Amino acid sequence: MIVAKAADHGPLEEESKAFHAALRAQQPARKKARVNQVKEIKNAHELKISNFSRDVIAIIMGFGATPNLARTCKRFHEIFNQSAASQSVRWMVHKKKIDAFIASKRNRYNICLEGASSEDWTKILARFPEIRALRLVNCHQIVDLSVITGASKLHSLDIMSYRGIIDAFVFAMIFNLQTLCLRGCDGVKDLAPLIFAQKLCRVYVMGCDGIIDVAPLAKIPSLRLLTLHSCDRIRDVSALAHAPNLEILNLTFCEGVTDVSVLANAPKLRVLDLSFCGKVKDVSALAHIPSLQTLLLSYCWRITDVSAFHLALNLHHLVLKECRRITRILGLARAPKLHTIDMTGCYGVKDLPTLRRKAPRLRIIGP
């Protein structure tokens, strides 16, 4: 009778145990390192944000127009999800869980629906008639968006990746609507009906290639904040200079915009972001905007001269990141209220030491 002898794995087992024990011993250190890394990133952002006013923080957190933060987040919508329009949405509901969500006893005022249909929305509205904020993600089965108008108390609406045709008159019929966000909605082409939205004060339009004419937006009576992000087909923004209450304007990644001098007549514009508008060359006229406090020109590669901004009476913050064709900025020393200049990546500036010496009050970041 032959008895098979079990293989002797003693040394291998001991080595494996030792290896896994070493890994377990390293886990606390790795976890601590990750926590410290996250803290460093947060501290870096806080440091960058602390250099600017609340208006710039609104751009960073609401518009996603700051390159430093954009490099940290891989996708733009990750940045926008931190905005005021998105922070109001608390409850994320997938189509498969709608019935269970409706059965809950608590009232929900801020809801995000993913992949929902018209019937699902009817159920939600019947259960939660006082809904305040709504986000629709990939809700292609809601063929007629007019069903949304049944939410009489809705004040924030965010529509993301909707494939169908969108009639903007639907938004005008939501009488209490204050914030409207359209992301990746190529089916919206005419925004003229928004002039009837009396309470609409914040509009975010991102990656909507169907938008060409922005003139109707200037006629929205209460509009204070406007974001036109990655709308490449927009060429003419002259009408926005006549928006009576517009205070914050973001044209980031609007690569079709070439002439911004027309914005010089904007009566209440305080914050203007032209980051990544690579075809903009001349910004000297913007120095005559009487209320302009913050101007962001990051990655506007064709800009060569910013000397005119010594005439900007109320300009506080000027961001010139990666504007590498700018060579002289000494004239900015005469800007009466300017106290922060971000020149990260502007390695071609020749008179920077002279500016530091003549204007010690200026906080200069970079290059």
**Predicted confidence (pLDDT) per residue in 279-307, tens digit:** 999 999 999 999 999 999 999 989 988 98
**CB neighbour list of residue 98: distance below 8 Å, 6 or more residues apart:** 113, 116, 120, 123, 124
Q: Which residues of the chain have pLDDT under 70?
A: 1-108
What is the reported pLDDT for 288? 92
Q: How far apart are the first and last CA of the chain?
A: 84
Per-domain residue ranges for the chain? 64-213, 235-367
Domain 235-367: state its class.
alpha beta
Angstrom distances, CA of residue 105 to CA of 187, 280, 315: 37, 54, 52
pLDDT value of residue 155: 92
Q: Residue 158's pLDDT is what?
A: 93
CA 69, CA 55: separation in Å to the nearest integer? 16
Structure letter (DSSP) for residue 146: G
Question: Does the fold of domain 235-367 match that of domain 64-213?
Answer: yes
Q: How far apart are CA 15 and CA 352, in angstroms?
A: 61
Domain 64-213: which CATH number of 2.30.30, 3.80.10, 3.40.1000, 3.40.50: 3.80.10
Q: By 3-state DSSP, what share of the chain in percent is helix, strand and coil, each rounded to 5?
A: 35, 15, 50
C-alpha Rg value of the chain to the nearest Å: 26
- The DSSP secondary-structure symbol of 238 reads G
Query: Residue 163: what pLDDT?
Result: 82
Sequence length of the chain is 367
